[in-house]
Every structure is written in structure tokens, then in C-alpha cells.
Amino acid sequence: MASFLSDRSTTLSSSGVGARGCWIASKSRPATNFRYQLHSSAWKATALSPTKRIQREIPGSYGLPLLGSISDRFNYFYFQGTEEFFRSRAEKYQSTVFRVNMPPGPPFFPDPRVIVLLDQQSFPALFDVSKVSKRDVFTGTYKPSADFNGGYRILSYLDADEPRHAQIKAFCFDMLKSRAKSIVPGMDFAACRCFDRWEKELRAKQAPELVSSIEEICLAFLTRALMDHDATGASGLSTETIKKWLAPQIAPVALLDAIPPPIMELLHVFPLPFAVVKKDYEAIVSYFSAHSTALLDLAATHGVPRDEALHNLIFMVCFNTFGGLIRLLPEVVQRVHESGVAKELSNEVAAAVRDAGGRLTARSIDGMPLLHSVVYECLRFQPPVPFQYARARQDMVIESHKEAFRVKKGEMLCGFQPFATRDGVVFDRPNEFLPRRFMGDDGAKLLKYVLWSNGPQTENPSVDNKHCAGKDFIVLVTRLFLAEFFLRYESFQLDGQSIKSLSRRSPST
């Protein structure tokens, strides 16, 4: 039988953008030599089979009450890092399902015990809302105080069976639909303005900074596209204000670059009070109150009271969308740079736009198969949100590729996604970034294993599930961002987090 951990030597020599730049990305995302893969393709014969026998209890241990969680947390963040943390345990237990403590920890975050899921067979258990509850598990084993959200339990924290869930999610879908026509012009405005600035800076022998530029693009794009206003202008809102509000909400599970470990450890056991960002949130509320009348009217048609809708809207735009995009887009730029597909992408974008009459539209994007594949491969290779949590509603059975395990009602499941999306049973050369992986009929068959949105890429979010409401929006926006870039440039050079050079396409090509 093939070794459980075999075939994990193929690595892409790359560096994770998150590890070096964006504050919000954690150092726990490994910078080089990704080895997330646990299974080789030799497992294909036995894996994904319908039923297996329950032969043993779920392996792993939580250790002594306080000490076990401290030891696991230190290994997760500092001594081993996330990849080795999970990989070494999977090897020790010979299982992709096992028990361990996840951050944050006691005394102020009381229960860190989870059952980890690391393969494509077990991971979808997290999506079956008939068997698992997603109530208050959006950020993990803890939930930030509702003070960060105007006192409301926001949509992302609601279980699918809570009545408000369907109302607010329907509002979210409707908002995206009602603003569909503004998405392309919104990105065009924000991206082109930024590209003009980059060129000016390069002419002045300065090196434009990638991550902060992308943050600026995202905020300008989102507020233009959704509210017909540019928050990055005067009387607006700064990206720093939004990031300050986001930080304490994810600090319990993140490794923030700028913070020394002893202080960070405090954040992993003690929630920062809302008071530290109260002023920032007030600025955000004031901005959205002034610019979201039409969207709040729309929310009212779904039965969502205005004030609750306002705080949900802020969360959708600033946490879900802005927070997600500023993790995703720098990573995308880095991957495209390293994989050497810039010129081909640029040719593909230019040809499709020419064929569609010379304008970049949502429809012209359809004729860009390499671009589509590259975006999916980015989302597979480094899912922007690495973990998803869910609590068993009832006693249930979870299958890994080789075994079945009994899970008790109330136990917490934690899927660590990069292992599942680098599962060698379903993906060839899973640790390599292959720009063409999702092209053609065979590529399309792999999309069901792309899980970044808390569900398979081939399925749709609905008011009855917990699949990300922005799934299609994010894929479109990422394509649009790249298409804008490659319509103007045919190649680029990065120097760490800075843009070293940009070469424009000649207008005739």
C-alpha cells in the first residue's frame, strides 16, 4: 500500500505573499516549500468509496486541561507552524481525522477542543447543515463580542435554521444582483486610477507598494460599485480604519506580523474589548449611514430592520468582502508572477476584449479560459480563509479516505482547508501551482474539489445553506482585476512586496 505521507516532495518554490506583507495574513501561513499534501494518488483506488467500517475511536488527545491547549497553540503558531502542526499529527495517528486543540485558548476562550478534518472525503461534512450547526462558529471556537457589530448577531454567525438567516442572506443576494451593472465600471475606475499612480511613481523612480495599493483598489471599487461613492476620496473612510476594526475580531486566531509573540499570546487567550476600536467603528457607521439609503431600503423589503441591516451591510462590505479580497488579491498577483503566465494571460485578455468589440465586460470575461483556470487554481492552492468550523447537531459518522469515525452530538469539527484542496487523491501534483489545471472538460471535473467558499465550486449558495453569499461575485471580481491589469500590461516584475517594473502592451496587439 502506498505510504500515507508519500509523494509530498514536489514543491513549488514560492513565497506566500501573506507571510511577508499584509497585516491580516498570518505568519502561520508557511512561506516556502508547501507540503500540505497528505495522500498520494495511489490512494485513488480505495478512497472516496461509499462506506467504511468504524474500527477505532478518533485518534488524538487534548492533553491536560490548560496545559494541552497551551502546548498545541505554541506548536501551531511558533514551534511547528500550521503545516507541520497538522502534518506531523496526521502522520503520528495515520489519520486525516484526529483530535487536537485549536487557538484561541483558556481562560477567556473556554473550549479549544476540536476534531480536525484534512481530506476531501471528510471535509464536506462541514457543509451538511442538516447534520451540523454553524451557529456562532464563523471565526472558530470563539465569537467576537456583538459590540463590534452594533450589538447584533450578524448573518455570518447565524445558523441556517435561524429565521433571520434567510432574510438577511436574501438581502445580500439582492444587493449584489441590484448592483451587477456597477461592478465592471467600479473596478475599471479603481484599478485604472491605481495603475496611473503606479506608472507615475515608477517614472519618479519609486517602487509602488502592492498590498496597500490593492487595499485602496478594493475599498474604492466596493464603495463605487455598491454605493455610487468613492470612500477613498475626501469625506470618506480609510483602509486603515477598516483594518483596525477587523483586527481584534480575528486576533484570537491570527498571527499578526507586527506584534511580538508575548503580546500576541495575550490576544490568543484574552479578547480585546470593543472599546479599543469604538471610534473607528463609529467612523465606519457614520460613512455607511450617509451612503447606503438605497441598500437599506432594499433590506427593508426583505423584512430586515434598518439598523440591523446597516450593521450587516458594514460586515458584508468591510469584513466579508474587503477582508477577503485583501487576503486573496495580493496572493493572486504573486502566484501569477511566479508561475510565468503573465504574457499568455495578457494575450488572452486582449484577444477576448477585441472579439467582444473592444470593451471589457462581464461577458467578454467569459472568453478567457486561462484566466478562469488561474483564478480557480489560486483559490485551490491557498484558500483565503484556511479553516471552517461546525458543531455536530447529532451523533454522526464521518469518513476519511480510509476509515469511518463516530462523532458525538455537540462536538466541534474544524476543517483545515489547504490540506483538503491539496489532497493527492483528487489532484495530480497537488503541491504545484498549475495555471491550466482547471481548463477543458477534465479541468471542469475538478471544480467540485475547490472549497474556498465553504462549499464546492460547482454548487450554489442559498438561503438554506451556509455557502458564502459572495462566491460568484469574488470569482468575477478577481477575474476583472486581473483582466484590467493584463489589458494594460503584458508583464511585470515584483521585488518582494513592491512593483519593480510594468511593461505596457502596445496598443496594436
Nearer to ligand 13S, 176 or 345 (CB): 176
Q: Which of 116, 250 has the CB closer to ligand 13S? A: 250
Query: Which residues, in sequence order, are bridge partners of residue 492?
Result: 502
As a whole number of angstroms, the distance between CA 132 and CA 124 comes to 11
Q: Are 156 and 282 in contact (CB under 8 A)?
A: no
Binding mask 302-331 for ligand HEM (x = CB under 6 A): --------------x---xx--xx--x---
d(CA 123, CA 118): 7
Phi, psi (rounded to 5 degrees) for 74: -65, -40
Q: Does 142 bind ligand HEM (CB under 6 A)?
A: no
Binding of ligand HEM by 468 (CB under 6 A): yes
Q: Is 26 in the site for ligand 13S (CB under 6 A)?
A: yes
Q: Is 415 in the site for ligand HEM (CB under 6 A)?
A: no
- Choosing from 385, 396, 444, 502, the residue that interacts with ligand HEM (CB under 6 A) is 385
When asked if residue 37 is in the footprint of ligand 13S (CB under 6 A), the reply is: no
Q: Can you read off the three cell numbers belonging to residue 232? A: 477613498
Dist. CA 450–CA 108, nearest whole Å = 35
The pairing of beta strand 396-399 with beta strand 404-407: antiparallel
Binding-site partner at residue 473 among ligand HEM, ligand 13S, none, CB < 5 to 8 Å by type: ligand HEM
Picked from ligand HEM, ligand 13S, none, the partner binding residue 453 (CB below 5 to 8 A depending on kind) is ligand HEM
d(CA 156, CA 372): 27
d(CA 403, CA 57) in angstroms, rounded, equals 10
505-to-192, 214, 499 alpha-carbon distances in Å: 14, 21, 17
Region of 482 on the Ramachandran plot (φ > 0 left; ψ -120 to 50 alpha; else beta): alpha
Q: Check if the beta carbon of residue 208 is closer than 8 Å to that of residue 499.
A: yes
Is position 378 annotated in a ligand binding site?
no
Instruction: List the single partner that 172 binds among ligand HEM, ligand 13S, none, CB under 5 to 8 Å by kind.
Output: ligand HEM
- Decide: is 388 part of the binding site for ligand HEM (CB under 6 A): yes
Q: Where are the alpha helices (DSSP H) in 302-408?
A: 306-314, 324-339, 342-355, 362-366, 369-381
Q: How many residues bind ligand 13S (CB under 6 A)?
A: 18
The residue within the footprint of ligand HEM, chosen from 156, 167, 213, 239 (CB under 6 A), is 156
Residue number, 253 or 413, with CB nearest to ligand 13S: 253
Cα 144 vs. chain centroid, distance in angstroms?
Answer: 19
Q: Using the rule CB under 6 A, which residue among 105, 112, 248, 470 binds ligand HEM?
A: 470
Give the residue numbers of the binding site. 468
Residues found near ligand HEM in the complex (CB under 6 A): 134, 138, 155-156, 158, 165, 169, 172, 316, 320-321, 324-325, 328, 384-385, 388, 452-454, 466, 468-470, 473-474
* Site residues (vs ligand 13S, CB under 6 A): 24, 26, 28-29, 138-139, 246, 250, 253-254, 319-320, 323-324, 327, 385-386, 468
Annotated binding site for heme: 468
